[in-house]
């Protein structure tokens, strides 16, 4: 969120962060957003650990509609979104994941990559669908796995990559330079 908000403030991307919603009441992202003058709210996720319950989903949809968002940008939101939410924002929900999808979906992807022994991992920006990290891929960037890497050092380098790639993709989406064609995304040249 910070990388995107800062890129917007520097006018590197033609967009603005109009609202930050979070499912964790004490999350630092809420304080960081407020410090930058961005409206930020906690909405309790409800009774489920991995998804929003129906009332929470309706509350998220309502607040996003009230804020008239054009794009829902997820970052660290560890819940699967389902039908009504995705229909309300069809092809307008994006996420970033710390692996080169479709490999290593789900939690702690950097650990999965390290444990598996691959030599390269990275991050992926993708549209969100009803699966787990399974939506159409928009962009990817690679990160080499170094012999001395630990889970912590690898995760840190992937996060640095994410902070570069995500604002770039958000900017291209805001400018209408990315189109979805089935499972494929196409970047339009300027």
Which one from 42, 97, 126, 155 is the annotated catalytic residue?
97
Residue keyed to tokens 């787990």: 132
Q: Please give the sequence-ordered ranges of beta strands (E in DSSP) within the chain, or none if there are none.
A: 20-22, 40-42, 72-73, 93-97, 120-127, 137-144, 178-181, 184-187
Burial (CB count <10 Å: 0-12, 13-18, 19+), residue 118: middle
Q: How many residues are recorded in the chain?
A: 190
Annotated active-site residue 97? The verdict is yes
3-state DSSP assignment of residue 42: strand
Catalytic residues: 97
């Amino acid at each position: 969120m910070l990388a995107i908000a800062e890129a917007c403030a520097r006018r590197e991307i033609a967009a603005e962060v109009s609202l930050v919603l979070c499912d964790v009441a004490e999350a630092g992202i809420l304080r960081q957003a407020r410090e930058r003058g961005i409206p930020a709210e906690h909405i309790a996720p409800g009774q489920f650990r991995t998804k929003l319950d129906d009332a929470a989903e309706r509350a998220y949809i309502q607040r996003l509609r009230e804020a008239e968002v054009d794009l829902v940008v997820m970052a660290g939101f560890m819940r699967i979104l389902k039908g009504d939410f995705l229909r309300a924002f069809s092809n307008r929900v994006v996420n970033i994941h710390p692996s080169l999808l479709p490999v290593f979906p789900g939690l702690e992807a950097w650990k999965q990559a390290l444990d598996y022994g691959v030599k390269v991992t990275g991050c992926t920006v993708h549209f969100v669908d009803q699966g787990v990290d399974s939506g159409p891929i928009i962009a990817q960037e690679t990160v080499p796995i170094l012999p001395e890497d630990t889970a912590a050092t690898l995760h840190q380098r992937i996060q640095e990559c994410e902070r570069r790639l995500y604002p770039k993709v958000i900017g291209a989406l805001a400018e209408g330079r990315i189109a979805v064609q089935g499972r494929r995304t196409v970047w339009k040249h300027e």
